[in-house]
Chains A and B, each alone.
Chain A
Amino acid sequence: MKLPPGVSASDFAAALEKFAAVVGKEWVFSSQDDVDLYRDSYSPLWHEEDERVPSAAVAPDGVEQIQAIVKIANTYKIPLWTISTGKNLAYGGSSPALSGSVILDLKRMNRILEVNDKNHYALVEPGVSYFDLYHYIQDHKLNVWIDPPDPGWGSPMGNSLERGGGRTPMRDHFASVCGMEIVLANGEVIRTGMGALPESKTWQQYKYGFGPYVDGMFSQSNFGIVTKIGIWLMPSPEAYRDGVVSVPKHDDLIPFVDTLSFLIDSSVVRGTMLLDSPLLSYRASQGGSVLDMPGGPTVAETEKLGQEKGLPYWSMELHFWGPPNVIDAQWEYAKEKFSAIPGATFKDGRYYHFPMEVKDTDAVPWVALGIPSLSVFGLIAGGNGHMDFSPIIPMQAEAVFEVLSAFGKAYADLGIEPKNQFFSLPWCFFPHSFVLLFGFPIAHDVEKNRESRRAFQRLVEVAAEHGWGEYRTHVAFMDAVSNVYSFNNHALRRLHERVKDAIDPNGILSPGKSGIWPKRLRQQRA
């Protein structure tokens, strides 16, 4: 077992004993078998010395217990790595950035405190999963939709705090957060936004409260332990429809993305969409790559292949939620705008009216209908998991061209065949920008993982050279990503760490999270 750095075995044992007095002996996990349950099943460091492993775990069932735990952690300088449902797979699962941390497992705090289907919000504790919230809404016949991320076993709190994304118009999860309760490192409880008003009736209805808006400080951070979170939901729509737009040529992407951006920012097209290329996918299926590998086919050659096979260069499925007459008009308007591109074609897709009974045997786009699912794991069947490389890039065609060429060259320079498990083309999980989600395969194989890590590290650097940065990353790469966010000699990170030292002087909360290290552990930075 790895002890927390600088903590003696006797202090560690004393701390665990005190944790047990707070939560009960059965909720402190310190045997090797139990601690192993907190390893990252998708660790890129599996079987290696540097794998990020905890020393123990403690699972409280309430705010007062958390307050008592942080008091003990301060006394013994025990680093606590907080998890909600612990399903942050591809980004570290339930494992810490600093080996030897004690996992503060909040899964037992799984109460749904309120779901309001008149003003469309929920107030939940950390351990509530998207499945739990969905079933609660179904069981209570509430007229509201959740927006799950692709795997639905995570928590609205964890995913929102990690700034994850879903598929519906509520896709930008942190943007949907309204009000938090937080235990600070000194044990003090704060409520943000309108929650600071003791008799507030609008904690989940108005985000900003009075004075500085601090909620962002508690996302992807180690400044506090969030114990309640308000999430805005979507009124159940009357209908959903989708349709595919395709354009034939490489350079058509320029007006295509301009039109897309206009439609998204005009709220005509909503939700998350994936840029697709039937032509590049075909090229990849024939032994080529979606990326532009040096020495690979030229644009003219690829376009010729597209003509021969009848495949468009670019396409995208657009989604619409709302009253039928509104979404029909939105689709018609989108078609009108894209029709300015010569050769653009359109295909009507699915059309659902709600309420609709969805059976397990129905092949519907679950997540886009607000239904949590694990079907996304079908994409990695046969592997041991994946690690996501997810840079934000401009919502411009030229950036997409640059990505395909820059990452193709990076792989070629590394002498590694691109092994992306997911998508080489961007998504729009967030307004005004694209995000890429490259899935690096993870195996319980040291050599393969070393290769994946080498490629991952290089792509982080290449992306930064082009002005692109990750929106989120695996615990093993938090320093690497933090290192490239270096404007003005890391001024932002230095601010984060000044805040860290001021409000968590013993550095007990999630050291290393997002590359933020407390003073006494700052030498741990990679």
Chain B
Amino acid sequence: MNMKKAAVLLILMLTAATFAWAGPPQEKDSQLERGHKVYDKWCFPCHGTGVGKPGTDALKARGQNPAVLEERTDLTAALINTVVRHGVGFMPVFRKTEISDAELDAIDAYLMRNNKK
């Protein structure tokens, strides 16, 4: 990772924003459900629980606790979007034909569902 990207990530990590859903509860549920589904398809194989999840292992090696993304309560949309669209370490970039902007929003909502309001 270059220094610029490292600095951006550090700033993003230090400025974990809270997440508030503005829309109606039903839409929130379906957004979370969609986010969960997209997460399972695109993120879980590397960042999930269990054995042989190199994303989880890499975050653990950096001292991240919890290392499993779904268990975090400090993720921000800015951080998630930066990592997905720019990559980090050995995680490559994901294109919009893989994860659309709308799907990325849903992942954000899902991974920030437990953030303190």
Q: Are A377 and B90 in contact (CB under 8 A)?
A: yes
- Can you name the residue of chain A whose Cβ is closest to the Cβ of B62? A382
- Among B55, B61, B97, residue most surrounded by chain A Cβ atoms (within 10 Å): B97
Nearest CB of A to B85, in Å: 7
Q: Are B89 and A382 in contact (CB under 8 A)?
A: yes
Known A-B contacts A108-B97, A373-B52; the reply to A383 vs B45 at CB < 8 A is no
Known A-B contacts A362-B51, A373-B52, A444-B2; the reply to A381 vs B58 at CB < 8 A is yes
- Can you name the residue of chain A whose Cβ is closest to the Cβ of B42? A153
Known A-B contacts A360-B48, A444-B1; the reply to A37 vs B41 at CB < 8 A is no
Chain A neighbourhood of B52, CB < 8 A: 363, 366, 373-375, 378
Size band of the interface chain B makes with A: 20 to 34
Chain B binding surface, main DSSP class: loop
Q: Are B46 and A382 in contact (CB under 8 A)?
A: no
B66 within 8 A of A: no
Q: How far is the CA of A365 from the CA of B61 in the complex (A)?
A: 23
Q: How far is the CA of A414 from the CA of B55 in the complex (A)?
A: 34
Q: How far is the CA of A105 from the CA of B96 in the complex (A)?
A: 10
Q: How far is the CA of A107 from the CA of B98 in the complex (A)?
A: 7
Other-chain contact of B85, A33, A87, A363, A372 (Cβ < 8 Å): A33
B50 within 8 A of A: yes
Chain A neighbourhood of B94, CB < 8 A: 37
Chain A neighbourhood of B54, CB < 8 A: 374-378, 381
Nearest CB of B to A26, in Å: 9
Q: How far is the CA of A360 from the CA of B53 in the complex (A)?
A: 9
Nearest CB of B to A366, in Å: 7
- Can you name the residue of chain B whose Cβ is closest to the Cβ of A93? B92
- Can you name the residue of chain B whose Cβ is closest to the Cβ of A443? B1
Nearest CB of A to B69, in Å: 14
- From A38-46, A190-198, A296-304, A474-482, the one touching the partner chain is A38-46
A11 within 8 A of B: no
- Among A42, A384, A386, residue most surrounded by chain B Cβ atoms (within 10 Å): A384
- Can you name the residue of chain B whose Cβ is closest to the Cβ of A442? B90
Chain B neighbourhood of A89, CB < 8 A: 92
Q: Are A36 and B93 in contact (CB under 8 A)?
A: yes
Known A-B contacts A34-B96, A375-B53, A382-B58; the reply to A152 vs B90 at CB < 8 A is no
Q: Are A385 and B57 in contact (CB under 8 A)?
A: no
Nearest CB of B to A105, in Å: 5
Q: Are A383 and B97 in contact (CB under 8 A)?
A: no
CB 8 Å contact bits of A357-394 with B (1 = contact, 0 = none)? 00111110010000011111110111111100000000
Q: How far is the CA of A39 from the CA of B95 in the complex (A)?
A: 10
Chain A neighbourhood of B114, CB < 8 A: none
B18 within 8 A of A: no
Chain A binding surface, main DSSP class: loop
Known A-B contacts A42-B92, A385-B90; the reply to A37 vs B85 at CB < 8 A is yes
A156 within 8 A of B: no
- Can you name the residue of chain B whose Cβ is closest to the Cβ of A85? B98
Nearest CB of A to B103, in Å: 13
Q: Which of A17-63 contact B (CB under 8 A)?
A: 27, 29, 33-34, 36-39, 41-42, 47, 57, 59
Q: How far is the CA of A29 from the CA of B93 in the complex (A)?
A: 15
Q: How far is the CA of A384 from the CA of B87 in the complex (A)?
A: 9
Chain A neighbourhood of B53, CB < 8 A: 360, 374-375
Q: How far is the CA of A386 from the CA of B97 in the complex (A)?
A: 24
B73 within 8 A of A: no
Chain B neighbourhood of A381, CB < 8 A: 54, 57-58, 61, 89-90
Other-chain contact of B95, A94, A152, A363, A372 (Cβ < 8 Å): A94
B49 within 8 A of A: yes
Other-chain contact of A374, B5, B45, B96, B98 (Cβ < 8 Å): B45
Q: Are A383 and B90 in contact (CB under 8 A)?
A: yes
Nearest CB of A to B60, in Å: 10
A86 within 8 A of B: yes
Q: Are B97 and A105 in contact (CB under 8 A)?
A: yes
Q: How far is the CA of A376 from the CA of B52 in the complex (A)?
A: 8
A131 within 8 A of B: yes
Chain A neighbourhood of B87, CB < 8 A: 41
Nearest CB of A to B39, in Å: 14
Q: How far is the CA of A375 from the CA of B90 in the complex (A)?
A: 12
Q: How far is the CA of A384 from the CA of B92 in the complex (A)?
A: 9
CB 8 Å contact bits of A124-168 with B (1 = contact, 0 = none)? 000100010000000000000000000011000000000000000
Other-chain contact of B51, A127, A375, A380 (Cβ < 8 Å): A375
Q: Are B46 and A374 in contact (CB under 8 A)?
A: yes
Nearest CB of B to A103, in Å: 9
Q: How far is the CA of A372 from the CA of B57 in the complex (A)?
A: 18
Chain A neighbourhood of B46, CB < 8 A: 374, 377
CB 8 Å contact bits of B58-94 with A (1 = contact, 0 = none)? 1001000000000000000000000001010111111
Chain B neighbourhood of A59, CB < 8 A: 97
Other-chain contact of B45, A86, A131, A359, A385 (Cβ < 8 Å): A131
Q: How far is the CA of A373 from the CA of B97 in the complex (A)?
A: 21
Nearest CB of A to B57, in Å: 6
Chain B neighbourhood of A93, CB < 8 A: 92
Chain A neighbourhood of B41, CB < 8 A: 131
Q: Are A383 and B95 in contact (CB under 8 A)?
A: no
Known A-B contacts A361-B49, A374-B54; the reply to A380 vs B96 at CB < 8 A is no
Residues of chain A whose beta carbon lies under 8 Å from any beta carbon of chain B: 27, 29, 33-34, 36-39, 41-42, 47, 57, 59, 85-87, 89, 93-94, 105, 107-108, 127, 131, 152-153, 359-363, 366, 372-378, 380-386, 444
Residues of chain B whose beta carbon lies under 8 Å from any beta carbon of chain A: 1-2, 5, 41, 45-46, 48-55, 57-58, 61, 85, 87, 89-98
8 contacts between A and B (CB under 8 A): A41-B93, A47-B2, A87-B92, A105-B95, A131-B41, A375-B51, A381-B89, A381-B90
- Sorted from nearest, which 3 A-B pairs have the closest CB atoms? A360-B50, A375-B52, A41-B92
